[in-house]
Chain A
Amino acid sequence: MIEIRNVTRSYGTFKALDDANLAIREGEFFSLLGPSGCGKTTLLRMIAGFDTPTGGSILVDGQPMDGIPANRRPTNMVFQSYAIFPHLNVEQNVAYGLKRMKLEAAEEKRRVEEALAMVSLAGLGKRGATELSGGQRQRVALARALVMRPKVLLLDEPLSALDKKLREQMQVELRRLQKAVGITFILVTHDQYEALAMSDRIAVMFGGKIAQVAAPKEIYQRPVNRQVADFLGGMNFIKAEIVDDAGTSIVVDTLGFGRVRTDKPAAYVKNGSAATIGIRPERLRVLWDDASARHEVAGTVVERHYFGEITHLVVEVPGMDKPLSVTETNDFGADDLPLGAPIRLGYDPDALVAMAD
């Protein structure tokens, strides 16, 4: 549907985007995730036609977009600032792009009303652009783009200006809307929870390069390297030594976790005999009283941070160079664990993942 082929964008010697390759499928909710300056917005703007690649090409529906200006591309964008025309009312904003199509008045009106209903703004057509709340402005921006029936809808950090509650509500709504209209959505965001919650697939980007493209669960559970792992949430990194590297899995000796067999990650590159193994803090469970697990590590609680529904524990394990982070729900009293208390942690070896440094 959308193909990014060896796309590079250089400014002098600086490469905002460095040889990016992506294939985005029809009807997919695709996110470009990364910290600011990683090239995600540059890529989005090049798909929209506001910026030109210095190398490579972008294809939409098999059509190369080289030399095609923004106003003749089958893409529409929801801007970070929403870019609602302040001199027009809601209806006129939504009808802005339709005016050029020279539709019959009744047809135009029908499409505007349909678009407004889609974003739950029915009846607000006559409202002035300056009289809208942040959430409403965002809905107008969405309606204005969707009414054009684009092949691809581009969203540039559309939720970053909303407060937390509204943002979470809009995540659900955007996702529902995308499934209803079936249009390919490409979302740019620096918020990993947003990307995980909404996307079919995510491309994680750092320094102009695409580090990993996969479904949210895969990205979260099997990050290809430490940088990706870190960006998507907490991760305990454990030093390991490879003892067997044959077939689809590797066997490593770790400090603290003993000998472990794990799947080879997709982008696994053998780097001598040293390896890094990771486990997410919530995949370590506190074992209370006599409870036991097939795989355990023992340690002492050295720090405790209370977060309402969960508690973060920092646990020192003998033989490990760094303490482990553990996230535990509060239903068994993790929030009351005394500092210095001995503790046993259970884990599933499947939660251990090998990754590049």
Chain B
Amino acid sequence: MKRLLERWLPAYAILYVIFLYLPVLLLPVFSINASAVPKFPLTGYTLKWYEELPRTQALLDAAWNSLVVGVASAMLATVLGICAARAITRYRFPGRGTAHGLIMAPLVLPEIIVAVSMLLVLLRLGLSLSLFTVVLGHILICIPYSVSVLTAAFEGFDASLEEASADLGETAWGTFRRVTLPMVAPAIISSLLVSFTISLDDFIIAFFLGGTDATLPIYIWGQLRFAAKLPSVLALGTLLLVGSFALLTIAEILRRRAERRTQAPGVSLA
């Protein structure tokens, strides 16, 4: 039995990974296929689908919208995340656990429920749907990620470093600027990158709260109705895929660097 498992478990794992990633890998393959129909056999190599992209005004508008929403959401979610992570790790106050739980909740709430609820509330408040409302929604779904990355950084951070700074005459703000920020800087950048990626890839929130302003995923969804546009959608999808992957890789590298720094060669305490 054990021998059998040992032999077949790796095979199963490999099959599983192939099943998971093959469709994604087909995306770049078909995006450089000469035929407009995504099927085998491939008919020839071309970059024309990519060349078409920058000539499509609606696509450029959507990309610009995504960039604006992504940058705004990432910055706001990270600033709020810094405050939340600091409060959770540094202070003991009533309701701390509950607050932490509520901040992390959007991670497990069905996104469509979040989107519809926000839509109802925002409309009732009399706000018209725009990129601004999309940013509000994205902040909500980005904060759990931002808080996770940042609490890890703040947690590994010896509180006596801040006390030492105060002891040496520095003010609370000076301490934050000269000690806390540089120590958690890699985690902050990591939080910005993760939040930006989540905002960039989000469809549901942008769909419900975006009104007439389309972000990239909304644009892609709109293009899917036209069979002829499929190859350029595949090309665009490939670019998004590569971009997201690169950003998340950098974010992870920075997060690990932050971890190493805050847990720097400590002295073991008796």
A118 to chain B: closest CB distance in Å?
17
Total inter-chain residue pairs, C-beta < 8 Å: 81
B163 at the interface (CB under 8 A from A): yes
Instruction: Give the residue of A77, A85, A130, A161 whose beta carbon is less than 8 angstroms from that of B269.
Output: A161
A231 within 8 A of B: no
B51 at the interface (CB under 8 A from A): no
Q: Among the listed B163, B167, B178, B183, which residue makes an inter-chain contact with A86, where contact means beta carbons less than 8 Å apart?
A: B183
Assess the B269–A86 pair: CB atoms within 8 A: no
Q: Do B267 and A134 touch (CB < 8 A)?
A: yes
Contact between A161 and B167, CB atoms less than 8 A apart: no
**Residues of chain B within 8 A of A129, CB atoms compared:** 264
Known A71-B169, A100-B170, A161-B270; judge A79-B164 contact (CB<8 A): yes
In the assembled complex, B101 has its CB within 8 A of some CB on chain A: no
- Given A85-B161, A161-B267, the answer on whether A70 and B183 have CB atoms closer than 8 Å is no
The reply to whether A76 and B168 contact each other, CB–CB distance below 8 Å, is yes
A81 touching B266, Cβ below 8 Å? yes
Name the A residues within 8 Å of B170 (CB-CB): 71, 96-97, 100
Within 8 A of A (CB), among B150-167: 158, 160-161, 163-167
Which chain A positions have C-beta within 8 A of B171? 71
CB neighbours (8 Å) of B174 from chain A are 100
- Residues of B contacting A97 in the complex (Cβ-Cβ under 8 angstroms): 168-170
- Taken residue by residue from 56 to 71, chain A's Cβ proximity to chain B (1 for < 8 Å, 0 otherwise) reads as 0000000000000111
* Chain B residue nearest to A160 in the complex (CB): B270
A83 with B160, Cβ < 8 A, contacts A71-B170, A144-B168 known? yes
Kindly state whether residue B57 has any CB partner on chain A within 8 Å: no
Q: Contact at A83–B163, with CB atoms within 8 Å? A: yes
CB of A15 closer than 8 Å to a CB of B: no
**A316 to B: closest C-beta gap in Å:** 37
From B166, B178, B265, A71 is in contact (CB under 8 Å) with B166
Say yes or no: is B268 at the interface (Cβ < 8 Å to chain A).
Answer: yes
Given B179, B265, B266, which contacts A85 in the complex, CB threshold below 8 Å?
A: B179
- Closest partner residue, chain A, to B266 (CB atom): A81
Mask, B234-270, CB within 8 Å of A = 1, is: 0000000000000000000000000001101111111
A85→B164 contact, CB < 8 A: yes
Chain A residues 94-116 with CB under 8 Å of chain B are 96-97, 100-101
Measured in the bound complex, the distance between the Cα atoms of B259 and A260 in whole Å is: 66
Across the interface, B264 reaches (CB within 8 A) one of A80, A101, A130, A160, namely A130
* B267: chain A residues within 8 A (beta carbon): 81-82, 134, 137, 161
The reply on B182 being an interface residue by CB < 8 A is yes
Q: Are the CB atoms of B266 and A71 closer together than 8 Å? A: no
Q: Max chain A CB contacts within 10 Å: which of B168, B174, B182?
A: B168
CB of B164, distance to nearest CB on chain A (Å): 4
How many B residues have CB within 8 A of the partner chain?
26
A50 adjacent to chain B (CB < 8 Å): yes
B164 in contact with A72 (CB, 8 Å) = no
A46 close to B (CB within 8 Å): no
A79 with B268: in contact, given A86-B183, A96-B165 (CB under 8 Å)? no
Tell me the minimal C-beta distance from B257 to chain A in angstroms. 11
B169-188 with Cβ < 8 A to chain A: 169-171, 174, 178-179, 182-183
Q: With a 10 A CB-CB cut-off, give which of B262, B265, B270 has the most chain A CB atoms.
A: B265
Residue of A nearest to B162 (CB): A83
Name the residue of chain A whose CB is nearest to the CB of B270.
A160
A48 within 8 A of B: yes
Check A87 for interface membership: any CB of B closer than 8 A: yes
Smallest Cβ-Cβ distance to B182: which chain A residue: A87
How far does the alpha carbon of A96 sit from the alpha carbon of B158 in the complex, in Å? 17
- The CA-CA distance from A97 to B171 in the complex, in Å, is 11
**Complex-state Cα separation, A1 to B178, whole angstroms:** 32
- Give the distance in Å from the alpha carbon of A50 to the alpha carbon of B237 in the complex: 54
A225–B88 Cα gap in the complex (Å)?
A: 45
Contacts of B261 in A (CB 8 A): 86-87
Interface check A352, CB cutoff 8 A: no
Within the complex, what minimum Cβ distance (angstroms) separates B186 from chain A?
A: 10
Does A204 sit within 8 A of B, measured CB to CB? no
Query: How far, in angstroms, from A1 to B166 measured CA to CA in the complex?
Result: 22
**0/1 per residue, B111-126, Cβ < 8 Å to A?**
0000000000000000
Q: Which 4 interchain pairs have the tightest Cβ spacing?
A: A97-B168, A83-B164, A86-B264, A83-B160
A-B contact pairs, 7 of them (CB 8 A): A50-B163, A50-B166, A71-B166, A77-B163, A79-B163, A81-B160, A100-B169
A-B contact sample (4 more), CB < 8 A, given A49-B167, A71-B168: A50-B166, A83-B158, A130-B264, A161-B269
